[in-house]
Amino acid sequence: MRKIEDYITSIPDFPEPGIIFRDITTVIGSAEGLQLAVDEMAARMDEEEFDVIAGLESRGFLFGMPIAYKLRKPFIPIRKKGKLPRETVEASYTLEYGVATIEVHKDDVKPGDRVVLVDDLIATGGTLEAAARLLTQLGAKVVKIVCLMELAGLHGRDRIQDYTVESIVSYEGK
Catalytic residues: 59, 96
Alpha carbons 164 and 67: distance in angstroms, whole number: 18
The neighbouring-strand residues paired with 56 are 78
Percent of residues in the chain assigned helix, strand, coil, to nearest 5: 35, 35, 30
Q: What single-letter amino acid sits at 79?
A: R
Q: What angle do CA 97, 161, 129 make, to 5 degrees?
A: 40
